[in-house]
Chain A
Amino acid sequence: MSETIRLAFVFARVGVMTFGGGYAMLPLLSRELVEKRAWLTEPEFADMTAVGQCTPGIIGVNMATYAGYKRAGVRGGVAATLGLVFPSAVIIALVAALLRGFADVPAVRHAFTGIRVAVCALVVKTAVSLLKSSVFGSSGGLRRVVPAVVFAAALALALFTNLHPAVLALASGAFGIAYSRLRAGK
């Protein structure tokens, strides 16, 4: 029980500190779950982001449910999700009730222009650390070349086509299965 409550609190804290959507949550989650508590390893964290992106729903909620389940089963998944959304619901209800013109206040607008730049830098940092563990983390030779090629191909498709992220995720998963079968068959 105490573990469930702890999960809810950890995710509530992540929810309060996330500005600018699910991707802005990644560096916070990586700090809380990987660096500080070691609840997930770097590869498990990469799995979580992959699952979060290729399933329906809000990415942040998907990741919270996944991490919570890994830690404490179904109860953990539910607790992490409720923890994550609780602060949002409270804050939005307050904002909606009290400050309808909140986003029009010039100081608020300036602050958010600044925050958006910080979100950019934080997403870059997350991409760099994931890149280190999932592409350059493996030992040399083909083990390194294949993930690098998948990364480059997926990046090009994500940037230059309108393919849905879920399509890319499914295609790369299928490629991974085919490739590992091919290698095992040799």
Chain B
Amino acid sequence: MTTLIRLFGEFFFIGLVSFGGGLATIPFLQNLAARTGWFTLAELADMIAVAESTPGPIGINMASYAGFGAAGVAGVVFATLGIVTPSVIVILIIARALSEFRASRDVEGAFSGLRPASCALITAVGIRLIRASLFAPEFDIKAAVLFALLIPATLKTKLHPLVFIAFSAAAGVIFGM
């Protein structure tokens, strides 16, 4: 029981302090591994690979995986609930405050600045992802061809994103990417 409560507490803390998505949790998990011995650094590398290659948000996957290693199925539940609880509390407070002050000129003003900036952050992520999957460690011609095929298809059609994911997974296996 104490392990479960500790799992909840440790992941609550990680959820509270990691800004910017699942991969931002990695340094905290490394620290957690060193302090608790719940998993080794080699297992952390496996965790990242599994978290990235299974469906769901990466941070949730990492918490679930670490929780399972520490305390089995109950560990999965406590670690996952721990990491999402701070988000839920913070967002509910913000969402409520926003709808109360919706009419306020300042809220409108803040969002008029935030919208293009948020769009820029997503564009930057896109550029980094392209750099990492097409150009690192060296230019990958197969990936580039696949990307060139996908761009017009995603922009011009309303096909479900999963169609493109499945197609690309198949292409990866068939062409040994």
Q: List the interface of chain A (C-beta within 8 A of B).
A: 15-23, 25-28, 31, 35, 43, 46-47, 49-62, 65-66, 69-70, 74, 77-78, 81, 84-85, 87-89, 91-93, 95-97, 100, 102-103, 107-108, 110-128, 130-131, 134-135, 146-148, 150-155, 158-159, 164-166, 168-169, 171-181, 184
Please name 12 pairs of A and B residues whose Cβ atoms are closer than 8 Å in the assembled complex, sorted by A: A16-B56, A18-B55, A57-B59, A65-B91, A102-B50, A114-B172, A122-B165, A124-B154, A131-B123, A155-B123, A172-B116, A180-B112
Given contacts A18-B57, A47-B115, contact A180 B105 (CB under 8 A): yes
Contact A81 B23 (CB under 8 A): no
Known A61-B87, A135-B119, A158-B124; 17 more pairs at CB < 8 Å: A20-B58, A21-B52, A51-B95, A57-B15, A61-B59, A65-B91, A66-B91, A69-B91, A77-B91, A85-B57, A88-B64, A121-B147, A128-B155, A130-B122, A134-B116, A181-B105, A184-B105
Given contacts A47-B115, A92-B68, A130-B118, contact A125 B154 (CB under 8 A): yes
Residue from A110, A130, A134, A150 within 8 A of B177 (CB atoms): A110
Contact B53 A102 (CB under 8 A): yes
* B175 proximity list for chain A (CB < 8 A): 110
* B58 proximity list for chain A (CB < 8 A): 20-22, 58
Label chain B's interface by main secondary structure: helix
Label chain A's interface by main secondary structure: helix
B162 CB within 8 Å of chain A: yes
Q: In the complex the two chains form, what is the Cα distance from A179 to B115 in whole Å?
A: 14
Closest to A121 in B: B150
Q: List the interface of chain B (C-beta within 8 A of A).
A: 15-23, 25, 46, 49-61, 64-65, 68-69, 73, 76-77, 80, 83-84, 86-88, 90-92, 94-96, 98-99, 105-106, 108-130, 132-134, 143, 146-147, 150-151, 153-155, 158, 160-162, 164-165, 167-173, 175-177
